[in-house]
Amino acid sequence: MTLKIDIDDGAPPYEQVRAQISEQARSGALPVGYRLPTVRGLAESLGLAANTVAKAYRALEGDGVIETRGRNGTFVAAAGSAAERELASAAQGYAERARRLGIAEADALGAVREALRAAYGD
């Protein structure tokens, strides 16, 4: 695993750690089951505070990218399973809310497309 922190980057260091690990897991550079360094170990190697790396690991765990197995360590999670479940749940909730509000299906779908364009910068 190779991570680089750019102090001139506008993103906070924890976000740089989170984004790089997430991308490496998504691309397969970090395979499912890969054991990540300890928070302290990674913090030392990157010259960061342990709390910075811990914050990145918490965000990654919340996103379903990694999983902590107690004293056994932190590992790359099965590809997208938790993230896909969370996405499906959010989509279901949105669809139900749109229907309760009386929004037509085409209009609800259009709102999602616009939100995705804004989020992804397309």
pTM above 0.85, yes or no: no
Residue 48: other Cβ atoms inside 10 A: 19
b or e along 27-42 (b: 16 or more beta carbons within 10 Å of the residue's beta carbon)?
A: eeebeeeeebbebeeb
Compare 1 and 103 and report the one with higher pLDDT. 103
Using 50, 70 and 90 to split pLDDT, how confident is the model at 89?
Answer: confident
- Judge whether 19 and 4 are in contact, CB under 8 Å: no
> What are phi and psi for residue 35, nearest 5 degrees?
-85, 120
Taking alpha carbons only, the member of 67, 44, 55 closest to residue 17 is: 55
Task: Convert the pLDDT of each residue in 46-79 to its tens digit.
Answer: 999 999 999 999 999 988 899 998 889 999 987 6
